[in-house]
Amino acid sequence: MSFRRPHLLGLAGLEAEEIGDLLDRADSFWEAAGTPGWRATKSPATARLSAVNLILEPSTRTRCSFEIAEQRLGIEHLSVGDERLSLIKGETLVDTGRTLRAMGVNVFIVRHPEVGAPARLSEELPGAHIVNAGDGTGEHPTQGLLDLLVLRRRWGSLGGRRIVIVGDVLHSRVARSCVHGLAALGATTVLCGPRHLQPEAGGWPGSSVAEDLDDALAGADAVMALRIQRERFTAGEALPERAAYRERFGLTMERARRLPSETLILHPGPFNRDVEIDGEVIDGGRTEVWTQVRAGVAVRMATLTALGEALEASSVETGAPAGAWARA
Ligand code: ASP
């Protein structure tokens, strides 16, 4: 089953085959993702797309890789953040979306601090295709896909694998998307970190919760360290103390040395060196972190192509002009 949805809002609820289709597409863009100046031959599917990257929270990897993906696919696009938009004059997100829609924009890449903001746009902007590029503590599906891609390229298949995710899982949209994607593809996750930064045991599919990192790492196929998301802490939530946190939950050089060489080490970035992961571990060359960044371009090219093809197919089926699909 190929991915044929009008939006990519999350990995929760996607079938394994849909995820597999997006990963297959991303694999086909692997060389393109690492080649400066690569350009796709124009396809009718992507020629009809006009994208805006609506990035309303800080972003380096996601914003830049969407822009590069759009350029390499020859998709008309622009990137804007809130400091350059009338949102700061009091305009609502939906009115900003409608304004861009009236200019013919039909793909919205949306990063927003509120959970559900991209989903709201998908309901309010008929004919537009929305990609969630990170909504608060909600989901970050293209990040989840790029992590799955890196693992699948290493292992061939994810079935039966065990991945430890360590850190501030509670506030992490990356963790949530990963856990859903991994569960769909038959892998299990162990969520580890300070108890108050973990979801309720059993709350996330295919996952269990552990408090001791060294125990959790025994027999793990991969480990992903997460940043403490200070900006998402609410009043009353205690920030862990840096040195004590590193001691218990950091991927220190000492821990990295004890891991078998085949255990993969991931981090979505940005890193806080010597807190959740030692700078020496990153610089030592045995992590997947730069491969993850390259996978980000491939996955975003895959997502845009899949949306373009779905749009193309729906307008052929319904006879409706491209862009009118979500209304149909
Ligand atoms: N870049 C990821 C995100 O946007 C992870 C992080 O910020 O720590 O969620």
Domain segments of the chain: what residues?
16-139+294-318, 141-291
Q: Is the CB of 174 under 6 A from ligand 1?
A: yes
Q: What is the pLDDT of residue 307?
A: 96
Residue appearing with tokens 């805006």: 52
Ligand 1 pocket, mutate which of 57, 131, 142, 143 (most atoms under 8 A from CB): 143
Q: 224 C-alpha vs ligand 1 centroid, how far in Å?
A: 13
* Spans in the chain with pLDDT lower than 50: 319-328
Reported CATH class of domain 141-291: alpha beta
Give the global pTM: 0.95
Q: What is the pLDDT of residue 71?
A: 97
Q: How far apart are CA 54 and CA 109, in angstroms?
A: 6
Q: How far apart are CA 47 and CA 45, in angstroms?
A: 6
CA dihedral 84, 296, 13, 51 (to 10 degrees): 40
Q: Whose CA is nearest to atom 1 of ligand 1?
A: 269
Q: Whose CA is nearest to atom 8 of ligand 1?
A: 227
Q: How far apart are CA 209 and CA 203, in angstroms?
A: 10
Q: 72 C-alpha vs ligand 1 centroid, how far in Å?
A: 24
Q: What is the pLDDT of residue 321?
A: 47
User: Same CATH fold, 141-291 and 16-139+294-318?
Assistant: yes
Q: How far apart are CA 157 and CA 6, in angstroms?
A: 27
Q: What is the pLDDT of residue 6?
A: 94
Fold of 16-139+294-318: Rossmann fold (3.40.50)
CA dihedral 68, 179, 280, 63 (to 10 degrees): 20
Q: Yes or no: say if 221 and 51 are a contact pair by the CB < 8 Å rule.
A: no
Q: What is the pLDDT of residue 327?
A: 37
Q: What is the pLDDT of residue 325?
A: 39
Q: What is the pLDDT of residue 316?
A: 59
